[in-house]
Amino acid sequence: MISTATDWIRNAKLIAIMTGAGVSAESGIPAFRGAGGLWRSFRAEDLASPQAFARDPKLVWEWYDWRREIVAKAEPNPAHHAIALLQKARRDCTLITQNVDGLHDRAGSVAILKLHGDIWRMRCTRCAAEWPDRRVPLPSIPPKCQCGGMARPAIVWFGEPLPPGIWSSAESAAETCDVLLVVGTSAVVYPAASLIPSARAAGAKVIEVNPEETPVSGSVDCSLRGSAGAILPELAESILQ
């Protein structure tokens, strides 16, 4: 099956890659929601929302400060590097990610469509300014903007829409690509998961890379079982020969 996937990608005019939490997990970043995702006595769903931030911004920022410390210790894995290599070789390759950890950036990927935002960016709740901040730990919580307003993480929280410009670009990439490579995503988080049937409906070949079966495994064109860190370097090497 990997040779078939290689041929599809090699012959594609436009390629889209969508990555999920499974890629980050291979760098040692744990899932912050679902089973095992408790921090103190809170679930991610109880903290990552506008309501939680309005109720107790200090608590929410303590959780994000803890997350940032974990992410800062992680390194891009072979999957991140393989994707960056493919992007550099194929300028017609669009990267869409559900991850907020910035590991794709550190691996060398560019023009990344970050559906859920970036944990290393802040947004002012007063003037809406955005800026990068990689300090770990943060010197004061909650952090402030230059205008004096309180900052929040520039991340899409539960109940918030995806950034409209980024989402429309992701939809366009899915609907115009010849191959959609879906890597390390559970395919249950919407609206991101809707890109998969959109790509198929538009005629793209959909290739899934995941160690476990997902809800879309039975409907994709090719399902490669295994870790992204093992499969993607092999794919990239074959494609770029």
Residues classed as catalytic? 116
CA 50 to chain CA centroid, nearest Å? 21
| H/E run at residue 122 | strand 117-124
Strands 179-183 and 151-155, how do they pair? Answer: unpaired
Dihedral through CA 169, CA 170, CA 171, CA 173, nearest 10?
A: 90
The partner residues of 154 in beta bridges, in order of sequence, read 118
Question: How far is 195 from 182, CA to CA, in rounded Å?
Answer: 10
Contact between residue 60 and residue 47 where contact means Cβ atoms under 8 Å apart: yes
Tokens encoding 121: 């960016």
